[in-house]
C-alpha cells in the first residue's frame, strides 16, 4: 500500500468542512485523523503523533455520555500510540470515571482495562481483564493479551499478541480501509509499560 498518498488523502478529508459539526461528524473526523496517523506511522513519518493527538481530541470532544464506549477506547489508543504521557495521565482516569471497568458492555470493560493498564494499576487490571476472558462476545486473543500484561506473563503474552496480528492479516475490513494492526501496537505499548519486551514478527500490517 502507498502509505504517504493514503495519509494525504485522509488529511484532506479531515480538512473538509460541510456545515456545522455535530456529534457524528466529529466522530468521523476522529476516525479520519486516526487513519491518517496510522498511514503516517506505517511510512515512518514522525507527523503520525500529531494526527493521533488530533484523533484523540476529536473523539474526546464527541463524548456526550451514554454507552458509546468505542470513543474512550479510541481516545486511549490514540494517546498511547502518540506516546502522549500527559494525555494518558489525564484521559485514563477520565475513562475510569465513566464506569467503564464495571460496564456490562465488553467494549466498556475493554476501555477500563486499557485505562488501568496504562496507569499501572495491575491488580485491578487483572480483575477486569479476566472478566473479559469469560466473554464470548469479545476477541479472546485480545482479552488474553490484556490479561497476560496485567499478570506479567511474558510467554502467554507472546502467544496472544501474535494471534492478534494474525487476525489483522486475515480480516477483510479495517477502519477507514487502512490495514494496520493498531490493536497489536497498543497492546505492545501497554506491554512496554509492564516491562514486557516482545519483538513482533515482520508483517504487512505492522510498521
pLDDT in tens, 135-164: 999 999 999 999 999 999 999 999 999 999
What CA–CA distances, in Å, run from 104 to 10, 101, 180? 34, 9, 29
pLDDT in tens, 88-113: 999 999 999 999 999 999 999 999 99
pLDDT at 19: 67
pLDDT in tens, 30-84: 999 999 999 999 999 999 999 999 999 999 999 988 889 999 999 999 999 999 9
**DSSP letter, residue 68:** -
pLDDT at 67: 86
Residue 196: phi and psi, rounded to 5, are: -90, 120
**DSSP letter, residue 71:** H
**Full-model pTM:** 0.96
Nine-digit cell string for 2: 502507498
- The proportion of the chain whose per-residue pLDDT surpasses 70, expressed as a percent, equals 99
d(CA 48, CA 197): 23
Q: Which residues, including other chains, have CB under 8 Å from residue 108's CB and lie 6 or more apart?
A: 67, 69, 98, 99, 100
Amino acid at each position: 500500500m502507498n502509505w504517504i498518498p493514503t495519509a494525504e488523502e485522509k488529511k484532506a478529508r479531515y480538512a473538509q468542512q460541510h456545515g456545522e459539526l455535530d456529534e457524528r461528524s466529529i466522530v468521523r473526523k476522529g476516525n479520519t485523523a486516526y487513519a491518517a496517523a496510522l498511514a503516517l506511522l506505517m511510512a515512518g513519518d514522525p507527523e503520525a503523533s500529531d494526527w493521533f493527538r488530533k484523533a484523540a481530541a476529536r473523539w474526546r470532544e464527541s463524548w456526550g455520555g451514554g454507552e458509546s464506549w468505542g470513543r474512550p477506547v479510541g481516545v486511549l489508543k490514540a494517546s498511547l500510540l502518540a506516546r502522549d504521557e500527559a494525555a494518558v495521565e489525564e484521559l485514563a482516569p477520565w475513562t475510569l470515571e465513566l464506569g467503564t471497568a464495571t460496564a456490562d458492555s465488553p467494549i466498556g470493560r475493554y476501555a477500563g482495562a486499557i485505562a488501568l493498564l496504562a496507569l499501572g494499576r495491575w491488580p485491578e487490571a487483572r480483575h477486569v481483564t479476566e472478566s473479559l476472558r469469560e466473554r464470548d462476545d469479545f476477541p479472546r486473543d485480545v482479552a488474553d493479551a490484556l490479561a497476560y500484561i496485567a499478570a506479567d506473563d511474558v510467554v502467554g503474552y507472546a502467544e496472544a499478541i501474535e494471534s492478534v496480528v494474525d487476525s489483522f492479516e486475515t480480516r477483510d475490513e479495517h477502519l477507514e480501509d487502512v490495514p494496520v494492526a493498531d490493536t497489536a501496537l497498543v497492546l505492545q505499548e501497554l506491554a512496554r509499560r509492564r516491562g514486557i519486551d516482545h519483538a513482533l514478527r515482520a508483517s504487512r500490517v505492522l510498521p
